Chains A and B, each alone.
Chain A
Amino acid sequence: MSELLNFHFDVDGNDFTSAGQASIQIKKNLRRLGLDPETIRRVSIAMYEGEINMVIHAHGGEADVNIYENYIEIILKDNGPGIKNIEQAMQEGFSTAPDQIRSLGFGAGMGLPNMKRYTDYMKIESEVGKGTTVTMRVDI
C-alpha cells in the first residue's frame, strides 16, 4: 500500500540544543491535517525521543514520516555505531548517554521504552559499526 503523504527530514547531529526540530514540524503538520490530538501526541513524542537518540548516539540521520490510511509510520535511520544489545537497550533506566547529555535533562534510559510505549508497533534493526533503523507505527 503506498503512503498518502510523506514528510522527510535530515536530522543534524552536531548540535544537541537544536534536536527535536523535525518532531516539532511533524506535530504542526499533523495538526494541520486535522488528526486526533492523542494520535498526534503519540507520534510526536515517539519521534522526538528517536530524534534525540539519533543526535546523542549517532551524529544525526534521516527521519521519514509516512501517513497511510490506517496508520502513521515513522522511520528513523542513522549510520551511527549501532546497538550492541537491543534487549538491554530496551530496559528502562539502561543508558550509554554521556554525562553532558544527562546534565541537559536526557539520557536517563527512558527513550527506547518510551518509543515502544507510545506506539502500536516498533522494530529496531541495528548492526554494530553500520547503523540503526527504527520503524514505528501508530494506528489512526
Chain B
Amino acid sequence: MKISEMQKLLEARVLCCEENINHEIHSACGCDLMSDVLAFVKDQAVLLTGLVNPQVIRTAEMMDMICIVFVRSKIPTQEMIDLARDSGIVLMVSDKRLYEACGLLYTNGLVGNKVKE
C-alpha cells in the first residue's frame, strides 16, 4: 500500500513531507507507548499514535519509520512538524480513533509484523 492510499482510507490531512506520499509501505504499528515502539518495532514503516510530543518524532526517526499518523484529531506542534520535515517523515492527522484507524488499514491489506523475538 502507498502512503497516499492510507491517507485516503483514514481521511487524513498531510502536514508535511507530502512529496514522500508515494512511498510503498508494508506494515504499521499502533501504539501510544514509545518505550514499546523502541522495544518491539521491527521494519514497520508507519506509526499510528494519539501521543503528541517531540519524542514521538525522534522515536520514529530512530526506528527508520517514514510516516506518523496522529489519530483522534491530535495536532502536532510546529516544533514537531519541523523535526519531521528535517527527517523526511510524513505527518498526517486523522479524526479516526486508534482502534478504528488500525482496523481500516489491516482489513485493507496492511498487516502488522511479528514482534521481535
Contacts and interface: CB of A to CB of B under 8 A. Distances in A.
Interface in B52-103: 53-56, 58-59, 61-64, 79, 87
7 contacts: A17-B53, A20-B58, A41-B63, A45-B62, A48-B38, A104-B34, A105-B34
Given A45-B63, A48-B62, A104 B35 contact: no
Interface residues of B, number: 20
A45 B109 CA distance: 29
B69 to A, nearest CB: 15
A105 B54 CA distance: 11
B39 A114 contact: yes
Interface string A41-63: 10011001100100000000000
Contacts of A19: 55
A138 to B, nearest CB: 14
Interface string B27-60: 0000011111011000000000001011110110
B39 A105 contact: no
A45 B34 CA distance: 12
Interface residues of A, number: 26
A114 B64 CA distance: 17
A77 interface: no
A20 B53 CA distance: 12
Interface string A93-133: 00000000000111111110110010000000000000000
A98 B62 CA distance: 24
A107 B35 contact: yes
A45 B38 contact: yes
Given A17-B54, A17-B55, A18-B54, A108 B63 contact: no
A90 to B, nearest CB: 14
